[in-house]
Amino acid sequence: MILHSPNVLEIFDIIFLESGPSYLCGFTKKLIQACAWDSPLPLIAVHHADVNHLTVAAASIIAKDERERLIEELKKTLGIDFGCGYPHDQKTKEYLKVCPKNAAHVRWTWKTHLSYH
């Protein structure tokens, strides 16, 4: 991970993360646990960090591009076109109506699926 590079530690003294307004503390804690964060740099989750911090905006663009690439790869692997995978997408909503309950590739924590299963 690039954040563990000595060069990054010399350049930055804090790491800002984009997070929704209702999930700031929980997001940071989960991220620290998930990636075994052991850097001396503090992680700060901020709502609209991508608007206020240029580096977060750049990282957001890269992350969205990578997500789109992975979604396309998943659709090819599964042989299913389920749309973009976001809850607002009509194709995704239609897929949720017919997909197997608790399918591993579906984010079941989204409220969108509740009306379908």
This prediction's pTM: 0.67
- Residue 109, both tokens: 């924590």
**Element of type H or E holding 46:** strand 43-46
Q: pLDDT tens-digit profile of 16-60?
A: 777 776 666 677 778 778 877 777 777 778 888 888 888 888 988
Tell me the average pLDDT of the chain.
Answer: 79
H helix count then E strand count, the chain: 5, 2
pLDDT at 6: 43
Distance (Å, rounded) from C-alpha 93 to C-alpha 87? Answer: 7
Residue 3 has pLDDT above 60, yes or no: no
